[in-house]
Amino acid sequence: YWIPLGAGQRVVRISGAIYEALTAARDRRPRRRLYHAALVVDLPDGTVAIEAAPVPDTDGQARGVVAAGPVGLRWLGRLRIFRYEVRCWTNGVIPDLIYAVTTIPLPLDGPAITRLLESLPEVPTPVWGRDELQTGDMWNSNSVVAWALTRAGLDCRELELPQGGRAPGWHAGRVAADVATRS
């Protein structure tokens, strides 16, 4: 799913707009709409919601948390408000899914879905909003989805964003997964 960045969350929408304005000015290009990727895998006995999101409380097990990392600066990660979690949540909920502007059916067969789900606990957890992996792109929730799909064997360069949009972090996830696959 492609969800407009900050749908339902004013602070994310505003900070995303500021980020895109600054990036567009730096790159001397027009501003574009930013999107957040979320993934829902259909299984015979239900669904699995996969996304990276802020840590709301200490009960990560209830949300299928498989990894976590810091936001902004590594040392800030000691505080819950500056941590993100990667969820692989059986029959879980992605609150902003109702705002999705498009759904992309993915050609994932049984073995690819198994690879995707089994690889998620291995997802890198660099500092959110930084380029610690030196990919030329910051790490964020889009990186996690792109990483998981690439590890499952999907060529994420083929996935299209909504017209005129972009997904910061997508490239970082693809590159990190390619490096992990070659290792």
Q: DSSP for 72-126, please give it.
A: SSGGGGGSGGGEEEEEEEET---GGGGG-SB-------HHHHHHHHHHGGG----
The sign of the CA dihedral 100, 15, 67, 152 is: positive
Q: What is the pLDDT of residue 121?
A: 96
Domain count, the chain: 1
Give the pTM.
0.91
Q: For the sheet containing 165-166, what is the strand order?
A: 2-4, 33-37, 165-166
Low-confidence ranges of the chain (pLDDT < 50): none
Q: What is the pLDDT of residue 183?
A: 63
What distance in Å separates the CA atoms of residue 63 and residue 31, rounded to the nearest whole number?
Answer: 35
Q: Check if the beta carbon of residue 100 is closer than 8 Å to that of residue 38.
A: yes
Q: Which domain holds residue 77?
A: 2-182
Q: What is the pLDDT of residue 67?
A: 96
Q: Check if the beta carbon of residue 156 is closer than 8 Å to that of residue 2.
A: no
